[in-house]
A and B are shown apart, each in its own frame.
Chain A
Amino acid sequence: MTRRPLPVTDDLDTGGFFEAVARGELVVRRCDGCDAVLHMPRAYCATCGSWEGRWQPVAATGTVYSWTVVEHQVHPAFPVPYTVVLVKLDDVPGTRLVGHLPGRPALRPGQAMAADFEDVDGTVLPRWRTADVSPAPAP
């Protein structure tokens, strides 16, 4: 069994994300200067020039923005078919996270998604899945 490639978790810009994930929490980076969401996370804000920022906890829920089913085998640790899904975060709709779903699950735009957290060889990663409940109707 080939081991899954794992992300660098102690990077200066993105380390805070993985620290939070290890606690079972999702966070996004926000600029203290102009409140912009910096995603992918990094120290410097290209909008206002500030180096000050914070990690904002967000709910580990979102909706399907788009997806594609990969049929072409690339890495042995990720057997095809699998589905790459872009999840629009409920709390920060402009921010999308990438999820990996095995197989060819039936998806539709706007479908509810939720993340839990899995330990892969000592590194905790968010794992997106389709939520069991339907998205709440718009108020």
Chain B
Amino acid sequence: MPTRRPGTRPNASRSWTNTASTRSCSTPTSLRLFDFCLETDGACAVVVTSTERARDLRQSPAVIRAVAQASIPNPQPGIQFPTLFRESITSLPATAVARTLYARAGLGPADIDVAQIYDCFSITVLLQLEDWGFCKKGEGGPFVASGEIGLGGSLPINTGGGHLSEGYIHGMNHIVEGVRQIRGTSTSQVAGAETCLVTATPLPPGSALILTADR
């Protein structure tokens, strides 16, 4: 989780394994303090307008290529309780959102230059990386450990620090950072980034969008 943004939680961003030194909150999954997102008061603003109008504004636009939303199949009632009854406990609505979003965008995982992945918990990121097709099912852990999500990796993610390091603004800060990447103004800029996936696909329902440069 690379981040150079001022004000972010440094320990959580330095390395995944650094969380091992913080106190344990649950076992045997070994979720530790820094595997949980920050509690944050904050706000973000996103201005949405036509591409034509956006071209006349001072900042270069990030274009919404496609959006999609979905829930888990046959969700039971309740807010978080249904997550305990989903068919597979290692899948998220991301599977269904990904199918629809990629189809609408005419893009696939290989076309994504940088991603902002909803990280209410670290485990949520691992499952989404699998559900979004960046690695095979069950290989999220090794994919992350190999450095692929760093700035030099195949899929840099959460370049603004995300919920784990920057603040829990319920996915809105992920959208803002996605726009920065497309504009080339991120503090952890991915060189030449032209497509950014922004997800909010934990449980029970979820949504996501793909931002692109104005080409």
B25 cross-chain contacts in A, Cβ below 8 A = 70-72
B26 cross-chain contacts in A, Cβ below 8 A = 68-72
Q: Quick one: which of A43-71 are within 8 Å of B by CB? A: 46-47, 65-66, 68-71
Q: Chain B, interface size: which category?
A: 10 to 19
Contact B27 A86 (CB under 8 A): no
Q: Could you say which of A39, A42, A70 has the most chain B C-beta atoms within 10 Å of its C-beta?
A: A39
Q: Is B49 an interface residue (CB 8 A)?
A: no
Contact B28 A39 (CB under 8 A): no
Contact A104 B85 (CB under 8 A): no
Contact B76 A71 (CB under 8 A): no
- B10, chain A: closest CB distance, angstroms: 22
Q: Is B17 an interface residue (CB 8 A)?
A: no
CA distance A95 to B82 in the complex (A): 11
**Chain A count of residues within 8 A CB distance of the other chain:** 20
Contact A39 B27 (CB under 8 A): no
- B122, chain A: closest CB distance, angstroms: 15
CB-CB nearest in chain B for A41 = B77
Q: Is A131 an interface residue (CB 8 A)?
A: no
Q: Chain A 77-92 against B: per-residue CB contact (8 Å), 1 yes, 0 no?
A: 0000100001000000
Contact A66 B89 (CB under 8 A): yes
CB-CB nearest in chain B for A69 = B27
Q: Is B57 an interface residue (CB 8 A)?
A: no
Q: Is A30 an interface residue (CB 8 A)?
A: no
- B29, chain A: closest CB distance, angstroms: 6
Contact A47 B84 (CB under 8 A): no
B85 cross-chain contacts in A, Cβ below 8 A = 39, 94-96
Q: Is A40 an interface residue (CB 8 A)?
A: yes
- A2, chain B: closest CB distance, angstroms: 21
Partner of B77, one of A40, A65, A68: A40
Contact A68 B89 (CB under 8 A): no
Known: A95-B85, A96-B85. Is A47-B28 also a contact (CB below 8 A)?
no
CA distance A38 to B77 in the complex (A): 9
Partner of B76, one of A40, A69, A70, A86: A40
CA distance A94 to B179 in the complex (A): 42
- A37, chain B: closest CB distance, angstroms: 9
CA distance A42 to B74 in the complex (A): 15
Q: Is B154 an interface residue (CB 8 A)?
A: no
Contact B24 A71 (CB under 8 A): yes
Q: Sorted from nearest, which 3 A-B pairs have the closest CB atoms?
A: A72-B25, A69-B27, A71-B24
Show 13 A/B contacts (Cβ-Cβ < 8 Å), sorted by A.
Answer: A39-B85, A40-B76, A40-B77, A40-B78, A46-B77, A65-B89, A68-B26, A68-B28, A68-B29, A69-B27, A72-B24, A86-B84, A98-B84
